[in-house]
Each structure stands twice: as C-alpha cells, then as structure tokens.
C-alpha cells in the first residue's frame, strides 16, 4: 500500500513558517529606521607655481591668489535637512621656500559669508617638499551655516615673493558628508 505523505508534510511546513514569521514581530520599529549614508566627494584641487606669485611684466609680487569653486552638493534641500556632520581634508604639498596663509570662505548665492576656516601651510624646498594636512570638522549649529553655501572662495597668501622664487604649491582636498535619513 502506497501512502502519500507529501501533502501533510507540506502543510505542516507552511503552517510553521507562517506562524514563526508573524510571532513576536514589532511593526512599530519600522518608524525608528534611520539610514546613515557617508558620501565622499573631491572638493578642490590646484597647483600654483612660484612664478604665479610674481608678475614679471610689472615686476611686482602678487601676494594673494584667489580662486572660486562651486559646491552644488550642499544646495539640495534633502542634503540640508539630513546632513549631520561634514569633514574636510586638505592636503597641501609645498616646495616653495615660504609659508602660506590659506583662507576658505563659504558663500551663499547672494555672496554672503556662511562659514569660514583657515590654515597655515608650512614652507618647504624644491629638494624637500613639505606636506601639511588640515582637517576641519563641521557639526551642530555650524552645519546650518555650511549648507547655505553654494561656493567656496580660497585665498592663498604669501608673505613675500620675487622673481627668483622656485617651487610649487599643490592642494588636493575631499569632503566626507555624514547624513542621517529618517522617515
């Protein structure tokens, strides 16, 4: 005699699966879910040579060089609401025998200053370039100021320059944005 045990066995497995999936499930916890993505973006990069700080036509030093970069990532309303912290990493390599003052000014669309920071870059030589790392963490109330910016103005100042100056100043930077998205 042949008995078909397949059907009762399948029903027991289905029933136990249904009961085990529903038992002790707290659906209210779905409201407490928060996504915490981390976004890394390149921010600014440039290379300035020593002759950039001296005008050979007028024979006068150019003690400050200014550059503006748009930062469109921060002007998104979703980013503005969910950004919890930003970490800026500036990596300078200097082979010019002068130190530099570098100012970072974050501006709104109306050119109002929303956030500023600054650093000093150590002097180096052509034979032994100097590496200067600068990290800036922005969080709390300062995040609101930072998210109002859509461009950053970098001012690089040198104390003195002449025609015989040699070397270069290189900047590479990135920003890490820490977001928290809740429903």
The string of pLDDT tens digits covering residues 128-174 is: 999 999 999 999 889 988 888 889 999 999 999 999 999 999 999 99
Handedness of CA 132, 70, 34, 138 (dihedral sign): positive
Architecture of the domain defined by 32-182: Sandwich (2.60)
Find the Cα–Cα–Cα–Cα dihedral 43, 49, 55, 61, rounded to 10°: 80
**To which H or E segment does residue 41 belong?**
strand 38-49
Number of neighbouring beta carbons within 10 Å of residue 95: 19
Q: How far apart are CA 179 and CA 82, in angstroms?
A: 5
Minimum mean pLDDT range among 3-7, 72-76, 178-182: 3-7
Residue 113: pLDDT band with limits 50, 70, 90: very high
Q: What integer is the mean pLDDT of 178-182? A: 86
DSSP per-residue string spanning 42-89: EEEEEEEEGGGGEETTTTEE--EEEEEEE-GGGG-HHHHHHEEEEEEE
pLDDT attached to residue 93 = 98
Query: Which of 48, 39, 44, 79 minimizes the C-alpha distance to 181?
Result: 79
On the CB side of 38, CA atoms within 13 Å amount to 4
Where in the chain are the domains? 32-182
- Is pLDDT at 2 greater than 60 in this prediction? no
The string of pLDDT tens digits covering residues 60-79 is: 999 999 999 998 777 677 77
Q: How far apart are CA 156 and CA 39, in angstroms?
A: 27
The string of pLDDT tens digits covering residues 77-97 is: 777 788 899 999 999 999 999
Greatest Cα-to-Cα distance within the chain, rounded to the nearest angstrom: 111
SS3 116: strand
Q: How far apart are CA 120 and CA 103, in angstroms?
A: 9
Contact indicator for 50, 96 with CB cutoff of 8 Å: yes
């Amino acid at each position: 005699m042949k008995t078909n045990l397949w059907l009762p066995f399948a029903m027991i497995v289905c029933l136990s699966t249904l009961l085990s999936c529903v038992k002790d499930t707290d659906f209210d916890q779905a409201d407490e879910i928060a996504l915490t993505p981390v976004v890394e973006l390149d921010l600014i990069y440039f290379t300035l040579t020593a002759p950039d700080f001296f005008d050979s036509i007028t024979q006068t030093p150019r003690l400050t060089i200014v550059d503006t970069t748009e930062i469109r990532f921060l002007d998104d309303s979703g980013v503005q609401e969910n950004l919890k912290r930003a970490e800026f990493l500036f990596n300078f390599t200097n082979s010019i025998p002068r130190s530099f003052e570098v100012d970072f000014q974050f501006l709104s669309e109306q050119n109002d200053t929303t956030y500023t920071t600054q650093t000093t870059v150590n002097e180096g030589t052509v034979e032994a370039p100097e590496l200067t790392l600068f990290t800036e963490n922005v969080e709390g109330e300062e995040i609101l100021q930072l998210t109002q910016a859509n461009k950053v103005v970098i001012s690089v100042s040198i104390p003195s320059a002449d025609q015989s100056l040699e070397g270069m100043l290189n900047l590479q930077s990135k920003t890490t944005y820490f977001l928290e998205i809740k429903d």
